[in-house]
Structure 1
């Protein structure tokens, strides 16, 4: 796990980089320069408004969004912008997907300009869909004392918190809108892009490994298992559930993030921290994470650093406490669900590219890709333990979505193969941004 690669400092030479500082000044100077340059060249005047519009959007992001997603230390002081491993892998995934799409577009009679014009539509709506899906599914995690804090947590997705199915839905909508605007063949575009989606998934799930999210269920230590360090989501989840202490607890249907939830101790693992403390099965338990005392807190650490948290456990009126240095350095072993998903994403991309020359019906490759992913995702959810069952069943929300996606994909394939086969138009089609 490598959540934070490095920090872009909050200020340089005493002037902030974000907000009303260096970056905003650079954008303003660029806008002035491009305005002067374009006014001298009549051929460039038509592009001026588009460029100034992008500058305005960038200025709002730098002046308003960036200051609200800057990381602060334990003292509440801004530290700068954290460059997360998850975000970097997302960027690599987008770059690789766009590059592959450009190569594939030529084989389908479309120009590279079309892909470059479509990329912002798919990326922006894909990210919005992925984040919206996550926020809706885990809406309790975004309840804050103020609207500003809530909005800040919603827009800060660089540490994870996006759902693949949400990105597929958002990207699908973006592609439909783009194709309608430019009168492009939707199914042909979808067939070009679908293998590229799984290349993006390959990099995205590697980002999950670096972030420590989307992990698998508990398993025995082996060469095929993973152990994440303090500060990782799986470590925190195991601490809240009692697993880190050696407890097997029946929590019922309660939310794992609820510090007031009560559970019943089913089993105490021998030689565990709980066993050494004299905890026995059958008791009613409540577990919460505790920050260290102010005098023991390193104020220079990021405020979201949870590696210094201790555990307080309350069992039938008795209180047990463990400080951070008394807890294991790593979480218990879990199945490497992220690696499985990453490798399977790459395998699906290769498989779709291999069979694409033999698929003569436009849209069929997309249907095969969606159906295949639905099967893969349904199976992967069975080894993950970070999502609860939904609608009174043991199926997670992603498994329910997988069922609908699979049925819809099979229906699409039946529809396509019942239609008369049409000869594809080899003419090159281009679109302007």
Structure 2
């Protein structure tokens, strides 16, 4: 599924991944200018984070989908290519990206924390384009649903055909754009107040809550891994929220103790 240009087929998913990267770079350039940071350093960080994210997203997909993998065909070049070329889990990309961020700071000696706080809106805007690609090809599809906005796939390698489905991918794309806007406004507010923004923590919590809710509207259970009635992504989201809240509580306690001293 995609655009046919002569003998070349450009898939919708690949096209929107490229568009997402382009939108992320453009937004990143604007954010670097606003925050008086070096765009060249941002590009280097983005390369490390991007490579780590792709590796992490693929690794977590293989972990949660191992039961559906036909290991007897793993040496088949066509099957192996299809397995490696498709299927990514976003939260795996988050953890892989954080590892890439850490390695970038260690190797290139860049103050990556400063850049992460400033550039965090790049992630949800790029993710939004990726979800539009998902909607066009039918992966990460929603539950059967015949209300307003229902989508019916007549051609898809993932989604059930000729069945009205909830447009969960489009809803998540819209939610990611809202998160992008909130993060940008929060950054402006913090700069005007002379406060250090906690943009990364805010993003992690907002996305975790959004993803937790939307997971109930997805229908691709075999691709997500279900444990005690919740998907892998929902459990990870719970862990992220608990971790962010715990760290913030301890930070506030340390600040209070220093003031008493």
Shorter-chain TM-score: what band? 0.7 to 0.9
CA RMSD of aligned residues (A): 2.2
Which residue in the other structure is 1:174 paired with?
A: 100
Which residue in the other structure is 2:232 paired with?
A: 397
CA contact (8 A) 2:118 2:187 kept: no
Shift of 1:230: 3.5
Task: Give TM-score, length-normalised by structure 2.
Answer: 0.86
CA distance in 2, matches of 1:401, 1:97: 25
Which residue in the other structure is 2:158 paired with?
A: 233
Task: Give TM-score, length-normalised by structure 1.
Answer: 0.53
What does the per-residue CA deviation read over 1:413-432, in whole Å, with 9 as the maximum and x for residues that have no partner? Answer: 33555566xxxxxxxxxxxx
Q: Structure 1 stretches of 5 or more lacking a match?
A: 10-80, 236-329, 421-433
CA distance in 2, matches of 1:231, 1:215: 10
Which residue in the other structure is 1:243 paired with?
A: none
Which residue in the other structure is 1:188 paired with?
A: 114
Instruction: Give 1 or 2 for the bigger CA radius of gyration.
Output: 1
Shift of 1:232: 4.2
| 2:76 counterpart of 1:141 | no
Shift of 1:115: 1.1
Relative to total residues, which structure has the larger strand share, 1 or 2?
1
Which residue in the other structure is 1:153 paired with?
A: 82
CA distance in 1, matches of 2:5, 2:209: 39
CA distance in 1, matches of 2:58, 2:119: 21
Which residue in the other structure is 1:197 paired with?
A: 123
What does the per-residue CA deviation read over 1:72-102, in whole Å, with 9 as the maximum and x for residues that have no partner? Answer: xxxxxxxxx6421101101111111122112
Which residue in the other structure is 1:84 paired with?
A: 11
Q: Out of 122, 136, 147, which is 1:222 matched to? A: 147
Which residue in the other structure is 2:259 paired with?
A: none
Q: Structure 2 stretches of 5 or more lacking a match?
A: 256-261
CA contact (8 A) 1:367 1:413 kept: no
Which residue in the other structure is 2:51 paired with?
A: 124
What does the per-residue CA deviation read over 1:381-410, in whole Å, with 9 as the maximum and x for residues that have no partner? Answer: 01111125633x110111111111111222
**Match runs of 1:241-390 below 5 Å:** 330-359=161-190, 362=196, 364-387=198-221, 390=226
Where 1:99 maps in the other structure, the secondary structure is helix
User: How many pairs align?
Assistant: 248
CA distance in 2, matches of 1:196, 1:231: 29
Shift of 1:173: 1.0
CA contact (8 A) 1:142 1:153 kept: no
CA distance in 2, matches of 1:8, 1:156: 23
CA distance in 2, matches of 1:8, 1:142: 34
